[in-house]
Each structure stands twice: as C-alpha cells, then as structure tokens.
Structure 1
Amino acid sequence: MTQPIYAIGDIHGFSEQLDRALALIEDDGGPEAEVVFLGDYTDRGPDSKGVLERLIAGQTEGRNWRFVMGNHDRMFLRFVTQGIQHDDRIKSGLSWMNPRLGGTTTLRSYGVGGPDFPTFRSPQGKDVETFMSWWTDRGQLSDQEVILAAREAVPEAHLNFLSTLPLWHEAGDLLFVHAGLRPGVPLDEQEEDDLLWIRDGWLEDDRDHGRLVVHGHTALDAPEHYGNRVNLDAGAGYGNRLVPAVFEDGSVFTLWPDGRRSLGPA
C-alpha cells in the first residue's frame, strides 16, 4: 500500500477555506500528510496575504507540502516586481487590476488601495485595458505609484516564494500541474504559458497522458474525474467550497466533514 497524497486546488485568497481544507486533510491523514497545492493562491478572495503566509509557514516548518505555480500567482508577481499588468493569454485584454481578475483584492489584503474601483482606459480595437489610477487613503495614486506602494507592502518572503514555484510536481503515476498539458508534447518540452493557462486542446482531449494528471485552473462546481485527468478547481474563487482530494492506491476521493467520498471517472 502506498502512502496517500492529498491535493488542494485553486484557493484564490480565501484563507478560511484553506484552513478548513487543511483541517480535513489532517483529520484524514495526520499532520505529516503529503499535500500538493495546485496554484492560484492569490486574487479574487479577500486574504491573499493570509493564504501566502500560511503556505510559507508550512514550508518553513518543514511540512510535507509541495507547490506549483498558477497563472494568477505569476500575474501578481509580475505586477509587483516588473509593473506588468497584462498577460498575453487573456484574450479580453483585461488588466490584472480589473476586479474580474482580482488584483485589487490581493493588493487590499496588503493594505494597498481603497474601497473604490480603480480607473482604466478601456480597450479600443486591438488595444488592451490599461490601469490608470486608484483612489486610496493616501489620495489618488497613479499606476506607477500603486506599483511602488505594492513593492513596499508585499514582503520579500512572499515574492521569493512565488518566484521559486515549480511548474509541475511528479509523484509516481500522478502529475500535478496548474492548468494542464499540451497533449502529445513531452513534459520537458511543455511551454510555461500552457502549463499555467491551457484550456483549448486540453480539456477535450481524452488520450492517456502516461499518468493521471491532477490540475485546477478551469472552475467547476465540484471536482471531476475524467479518466485521464482530475480537475480540482471547484470554484472557490467564485464563492464555492474548497474541496481537497486524496489519491491512494489508484483511487481518488474527495474529503468532506463526514469523511471520504469516492471520485471515479464520469
């Protein structure tokens, strides 16, 4: 019998949901349980700072935790360290600071910003939406002033954690990645953007990938098992419950207050 491996999908700044999921895992597997976190720790929810603090604390304590990067984690990191507010994979051209993407709630968790929405220059034609300014308790700050305020507010430990996140984690016949894979491409030749963003060409592909791929990124109402992959993004970023899962001896279970529930291929 192999040791179980637990996994948690997209957290999106909901620290209370994270605490609840970790408690369910500890009840099932004890404090030494191996846990893989599938990325998107930040954005949308009210406490991205608190989520990162919990994850970093567990890592520092030497817990048996593994992490991969999500697309929202990269957007947050790029905004603070490089002032980049767009990602080429966002077809709508929205800025990371748009409330739909959640950058504003992330910055608020660090004490940057205000209750109102920022101002933007709307996209025209092929242009992208551009964040212009934000009314805060310091007055109206320009985009560059917000970036500088974020650099002052976000601890270096948080940026170091995000910048060193791997893109995947392998464990036996399981592969953990944030968004998925480009089918038919060897793992070491996968593009970072696909590992963080892919949907088209991945979600509809039913081929055997050589191992069970465990991912998040595409929000559902509940985890789903598709035979060749398991999607654990149960929509916590949109107010749903964060549902952890356990993988043991070829079987998959979700964890609930009343215990394990089998999750088989649909």
Structure 2
Amino acid sequence: MRALLRRLLGKQEAPTHAKHLVRHLTVPEAPAALYAIGDVHGCLDELVDLEHQIIADGHSIPGSKLLVMLGDYVDRGPDSAAVIDHLLSRPPEGFRRVCLMGNHELMFRDFLTRPHPQSNWLEFGGLETLRSYGISNDALKATRPSQWPMLIKAHIPDNHLDFLASLSWTLQVPGWLFVHAGIQPGIPLEAQKADDLFWIREAFYDLVDHEDCSHFSFRVVHGHTPAADPVITRRRICIDTGAYATGRLTSLRITPDGSFQMLQTSPSPGRK
C-alpha cells in the first residue's frame, strides 16, 4: 500500500494501476487538483480530447494532480482495446492516474476466465470489445467454444489481463469517496459487497438523496448510471453522461477546499 501511494504522489510519471490488487485505496492528503473521469466505454477519441482539456485546465494549478478513472473502460464503444492501451501508457506530465474497477471490467474478466457462447456479457457490449481486439462475431461462430480460450489468448495481450486483475475497487481522499456505482450506506467500506460497489443504483440513490446522511464523512463520486447531465446532490455526484451514445465524456475537477467544476467533451456528429 505505501509503495502504491508513493507512486500516486511521488515524482515519477508511471501508470498507477497496482501490480497486485489493493481493493480500497486511500490518499491521506488531497492533491492540488483531482480529476475524476466517468464511464469511457470504448470511446478513445473522447478520452484523449478530455485529457487535453484537463491538461490545459491543470496548467494554472501548481502542485500534484491526480486522474481518477471510475471504471467501465470497455464495451459498447468501438475502441475498448485502445482505451486500455491508453490507460496503460504514461499519464500526462505532472499527473498521476488511478484506474478503478467497473461492472463491465468485472464481466469482461469473468468471460475471459470462462468464455462461453451463452455469456450475457456478449450482448452487453462484449462483442464490440472482442471486435476491438480483432475477434469478430463471425470468428466466434466459426470457432468451437472449446477453442475460444486459445482464440482469446492469441488476441488479448497479457498486460491487458494484468490490468483487469489489478483494478482497485474504491479510492478515498479527504472528504471524498470514488467508486464505480455507489455503496450500501451503513456498511463499512471493507465489508461492502462487490455487487454493490459495481452494480448498485436505487438502493444507494434513494437513501443518500432523501434520507439524513449527516453521518457520512465523505461525498461519493461515481458513474454507472448514464444521464444527459451530471447528477449533483448533497452526498453524491454522478458523472456518467453516456459517452458511447452521446459523445459527452465528463470529468469532475475537485480542489482541496472542496470546490468542483465540470469539464466535458462536445457531442459527436450525429449523436445528441
């Protein structure tokens, strides 16, 4: 854990996914600027565009800067493999990058462990992901399911498998919690179930938006549920703006005083 935190806040600009899984990360001191990025879903062009905006925005902010990816890098969009390549590369100069797990990475990883024609993941955006690795639907149909593991091994690099295996589940900085979907209120972070962290919706929203959550010591930043605009309530901020369908990929910039600002890509031609 200490070694990973040194990588997050130290001087070398290296990719900041852990070599070994650390489920719950904590950064004890807030960076000068933290930029959370919502669900990418295979939209490489939008991710690169948004990073350019973040770099320009961060020029005027001295000190350490941290990119926090909220999961769902794969599926639905056209460039899932290239998105993972990008996340494995060095982050922009002066920035660190933390990549968290999303439910689509979880499904992708499960499929790679047990590939099967009846996998729900294939119809949940998985076919687009496999296509980005050069595995077409026709190739799947022409290959016996018993041979799918060999087909996958021939097309998906080991470092992508390592990336999927090493994604952390949550990140805490003072006053904030970053997670893909949300949390089950009232349960300690270490006891949270993966189903909640990666899949929860209404049970989380209904409670934190409408009940007294004054006992919360943090505000939750998450993705998972797409909306036309970021959803901002007292205890949570959702920044999934459906990039694969709209071309709008959103980042939330947070500074140590608790103030925040949105950055967003423009809608792609032909998408609303």
TM-score bracket for the superposition, by shorter chain length: 0.7 to 0.9
Q: Give the aligned partner of residue 173 of structure 2.
A: 171
Letter in 2 for 1:196: F
Letter in 2 for 1:154: I
Higher strand share: 1
Q: Give the aligned partner of residue 22 of structure 2.
A: none
Letter in 2 for 1:252: F
Match of 1:14 among 39, 43, 48: 43
The reply on whether 1:218 has 2:247 as its aligned counterpart is no
Letter in 1 for 2:151: A
Q: Give the aligned partner of residue 97 of structure 1.
A: 122
CA displacement 1:59-89 (0-9 Å, x = unmatched): 6999511111000011111111332678xxx
The reply on whether 1:255 has 2:257 as its aligned counterpart is no
SS state at 2:250 partner: coil
Q: 1:148 & 1:55 partners in 2: Cα distance? A: 25
Report the CA distance shift for 1:85/1:246 in structure 2 as closer, same or farther (over 3 A): farther
Runs of 4+ aligned residues of structure 1 deviating over 4 Å after TM superposition are: 59-63
Identity, % of aligned positions:
36
> Any conservation in 2 of the 1:39–1:67 contact (CA below 8 Å)?
yes
> Any conservation in 2 of the 1:44–1:105 contact (CA below 8 Å)?
yes
CA displacement 1:16-66 (0-9 Å, x = unmatched): 011011111101014963110000000000000010000011269995111
Moved more, 11-20 or 25-34: 25-34
Report the CA distance shift for 1:257/1:46 in structure 2 as closer, same or farther (over 3 A): closer
- Unaligned runs of 5+ residues in structure 1 are 87-93, 115-134, 259-266
The reply on whether 1:233 has 2:240 as its aligned counterpart is yes
Letter in 1 for 2:51: L
Q: TM-score, normalised by structure 2?
A: 0.77
| C-alpha displacement of 1:180 | 0.3
Letter in 2 for 1:179: A
SS state at 1:42 partner: coil
> Any conservation in 2 of the 1:14–1:47 contact (CA below 8 Å)?
yes
> Any conservation in 2 of the 1:168–1:176 contact (CA below 8 Å)?
yes
SS state at 1:73 partner: helix
Q: CA RMSD in A?
A: 2.5
How many pairs does the alignment contain? 228
Greater relative contact order: 1 or 2 (C-alpha under 8 angstroms, separation 6 or more)?
A: 2
Higher helix share: 2
